[in-house]
Chains A and B, each alone.
Chain A
Amino acid sequence: MGIDYIYPEFEVIRNESRCVTCQVCQRQCANEVHRYDPDLGRMLSDETKCVGCHRCVSLCPTHALKIVKNDCAFRENANWQTGAIKEIYKQASSGGVLLSSMGSPAPLSVYWDKLLLNASQVTNPSIDPLREPMETRVYLGKKPGLVDRDDKGNLTYALEPQLELSMPVMFSAMSYGSISYNAHKSLAMAAQKLGIFYNTGEGGLHEDFYCYGGNTIVQVASGRFGVYKDYLDAGAAVEIKMGQGAKPGIGGHLPGAKIVGDVSRTRMIPEGSDAISPAPHHDIYSIEDLRQLVYSLKEATEYKKPVIVKVAAVHNIAAIASGVARSGADIIAIDGFRGGTGAAPTRIRDNVGIPIELALAAVDQRLREEGIRSQVSLVVGGSIRSASDVVKAVALGADACYIATGALLALGCHLCRTCHTGRCNWGIATQRPDLVKRLNPEVGCQRLVNLLTAWNHEIKELMGGMGINSIEALRGNRLMLRGVGLTETELRILGVAHAGE
């Protein structure tokens, strides 16, 4: 209290005429905001604990609750805005690094919103996806420079391992530990139903989920948690995580409190020990070291699985991606700076890295200039929010997109950005059994399937409008994009013309 007191961010508005004191809100709130007072015979609120997750709002049977932004404000100051002042108080009190969850909420440019798509008129017919076939299947992996022929000159049909996706979207890496068993199960089941892939993140693969291996990408990150032969064999592809868009340049930290039971066993570390992933891979200090890890993993999996190298979008990303492409990677995944996270230092999340749109455009162009674009597939993530973002990403040059925040929203996440507390009321970013069970994997799976089925319809509608009936004819097809309100430099980097041109 006193000097460090920060007025609560939210106000809990309870319509007393509607409240029937059923106490659902109290039972549902792991943050302990709501409390029934038997003497007064009504519900009370401790708003200092509210994170704005809307669990109580969503489950209140009489719609008696709403959570609104508090209007108690510091004196207005364009320079010292409320957030900056509050952060000073927090650090002056704690002496610690500020932590945040999920992607940066800072109002930085979202280029997807400044790119517009084309449609056919007169000279070229649009195609109706309800009446004509419309293809969204994608193969990720290395394509040969020259087709392979036998001694007689016939095609051998030899190909490097490919991942077949029914649509150009996959679930991005989220570890078991950072999210719950039921969240993982929902993702795994949905990936299988949809004919796409989900990604284990750096938490190993729970023994119950080996059966979804055909739709699983297993990750190898700097902590190597949970990595062993069976794990590599279980997945359809192996991803080396070099970086993450929300926190480029640093590793991960799952507090010992979350390393319990199955999480501990799956990560293969003792219960209660902090799981700290080093900032770099300590066997990769340069590009030639990466090549060794890529080929070690290929050797371990007998060259049957594509190897993905995931990097954060940073300043020199085009040159980095070019180096990665030449290091044996089959697929490069680039994560933009708006990407989500279970926990990241706030300063890093909000200030390090570059937007995925610019990174993608620069990488695709550089790989083409070097004539090696076909040697790798490009997967991009870091805040893909809708089917139109996917279509724009593909038109800029991506083979496919990674989504994670969008998938969590489908599972019920309300983006309260307090995953790092471990008290997720929606049963997603928590290991508390009473909270985890709130997420029914069957329901979660169905919601994920619904979401991506809807997106796939929308992707087809957008493609049909452009007169394109197969997603591969959209990839890198930047003539289908126009910019609005962008500078010459931004347009040059994106490789698109301004609207009206």
Chain B
Amino acid sequence: MSKKEGQIRIPSGCAIAAVISREGRRMSGEKIVEAMKPMHARSNGLGGGFAAYGIYPQYRDFYAFHLFFDNRDARKDCERYLKENFEIVQAEVIPTRNLPQITNVPMIWRYFLSPFASVLVRENIREEDLVSRTVMTINEGMDGAYVFSSGKNMGAFKAVGYPEDVGAFYKLEEYQGYSWTAHGRYPTNTPGWWGGAHPFTLLDYSIVHNGEISSYDANRRFLEMFGYRCSLQTDTEVIAYMMDYLLRVQKLSLEDAAAVAAAPFWSTIENNPDPKERQRLTYLRTVFPSLLITGPFSIVLGFNGGLMALNDRLKLRSMVTGEKDDLVFIASEEAAIRVMEPEAENIHAPAGGQAVIVKVKEGAY
């Protein structure tokens, strides 16, 4: 029997796209699904997915867990485990539409969870850490159960299939979010497993990623020191955990996290005329050498209230940005931006390692 993704490592190429309203204006998923169509050839039907922010305002204080289950027993076991630490405020099947293009559909459930205060006190653990640990435990240890989304007021939707079909399958036109990211996958193998599709998420961080990073095992083995478990062996998973570690655990700014992951070359740092900047960049490279990402990548990091797009420092993958009014667009190709907004302005290809950070107005999300 061929091995499932996670037991082997499968490189892939891809397409990514994102749209965000700086005003926090919510929009349906239709636009982002359309954006993936002109980039059809960048995927091969073996993985597509979306992340959406602001979609669960009525449950905004609860962790929204999206899970795949292979069977009913896996779901029952997993629910029993969740109930040890969380109150399940709501449990439901995620609505989907039957399509001929999407087959081998697992059970897809959504839970809104609230950690028990008593557990947090007893274990002296912060609630984000409890959520993170729960995700790792299920994904590494529970056969037939896989958490693919675990943040508040956001959610990931992914499947094996072309992204536009995946969007239709999940009825994304029925969700309203202020920020959307999307991904179409071109893996070099046929794992046929839904967990391998993007985005990868932890808490409210989501990553869509185009590329294959050569630093994977150095990054993974560093992060596994801190309780992360890269159960899928994909680049994207490791980048998602890296961002969680840098932003949430180390509390770095987005700019600092970008300077770690896509650190400028030493020669570039030394030629920087600003001594404070030299000090900052040298410090970050010295402290986090194992979190430098090498090899081609373009990523969009989603989080509550914003997006960050980042290219590898050599810019070995295409990525362009554009804007129109309150909207900012990011995509592998300009064509995808033009589909979302034919009148898009300021089309720009950010330099390698140059982070593009977009934040929603405070209080608007």
* Residues on A facing B (Cβ under 8 Å): 120, 122-125, 127, 132-133, 135, 137, 139, 143-144, 146-147, 149, 153, 155, 157, 159, 162, 368, 371, 373-374, 466-470, 472-480
Contact = CB atoms under 8 A, between A and B. Distances in A.
Given A124-B296, A368-B224, A132 B314 contact: yes
A143 B188 contact: no
A473 B215 contact: yes
B1 interface: no
11 contacts: A123-B212, A124-B212, A124-B296, A133-B267, A135-B266, A143-B288, A472-B289, A472-B292, A473-B215, A473-B219, A479-B216
Interface residue tally on B, bucketed by range: 35 or more
Contacts of B217: 476-480
Nearest to B13: A123
Interface in B279-295: 279-280, 283, 285-290, 292-295
B214 A468 contact: yes
A146 B250 contact: yes
B293 to A, nearest CB: 7
Interface in B1-24: 9, 11-13
A466 B213 CA distance: 10
Given A123-B12, A473-B218, A479-B217, 16 more contacts: A123-B11, A124-B213, A125-B296, A147-B252, A149-B251, A162-B286, A374-B290, A468-B294, A470-B292, A470-B294, A472-B292, A474-B215, A474-B218, A476-B218, A477-B218, A479-B9
Interface of B: 9, 11-13, 188, 211-219, 221-222, 224-226, 249-252, 256, 263, 265-267, 279-280, 283, 285-290, 292-296, 313-314, 316
A139 B316 CA distance: 27
B290 A120 contact: no
A139 B269 CA distance: 15
Contacts of A124: 11, 211-214, 295-296
Contacts, number: 110
A325 to B, nearest CB: 13
Contacts of B267: 133
Given A146-B250, A472-B292, A478-B217, A139 B286 contact: yes
Contacts of B288: 143
A374 B256 CA distance: 19
Contacts of A135: 265-266
A115 B292 CA distance: 25
Nearest to B268: A133
Contacts of B211: 124
B294 A467 contact: yes
B13 A127 contact: no
A478 B224 CA distance: 14
A466 B263 CA distance: 19
Q: Which 6 A/B pairs are nearest by Cβ-Cβ distance?
A: A473-B215, A472-B289, A467-B214, A479-B217, A473-B294, A477-B218
A166 B70 CA distance: 52
A144 B296 CA distance: 29
Contacts of B250: 146-147
Given A124-B11, A144-B287, A472-B289, A477 B225 contact: no
A477 B235 CA distance: 13
A477 B215 contact: yes
Contacts of B221: 368, 476-478
B216 A137 contact: no
B286 A373 contact: no
B247 to A, nearest CB: 12
A472 B214 contact: no
B44 to A, nearest CB: 13
A155 B280 contact: yes
A120 B279 contact: no
B295 A467 contact: yes
A368 B224 CA distance: 8
A477 B214 CA distance: 9
Contacts of A476: 217-218, 221-222, 290
B295 A159 contact: no
A139 B285 CA distance: 9
Given A124-B214, A373-B225, A478-B221, A473 B287 contact: no
Contacts of A147: 250-252, 287
A155 B283 contact: yes
Nearest to B291: A472
A479 B188 CA distance: 17
A237 B252 CA distance: 31
Nearest to A147: B250
A127 B290 CA distance: 20
B314 A127 contact: yes
B239 to A, nearest CB: 13
A324 to B, nearest CB: 18
For A162, A473, A478, A480, the residue with the greatest tally of chain B CB atoms inside 10 Å of its CB is: A473
A137 B263 CA distance: 13
Contacts of B294: 467-470, 473
A371 B256 CA distance: 23
A194 to B, nearest CB: 16
Contacts of B285: 472
Given A125-B316, A472-B218, A477-B216, A371 B226 contact: yes
Contacts of B215: 468, 473-474, 477
Contact of A159 (B219, B222, B287, B296): B287
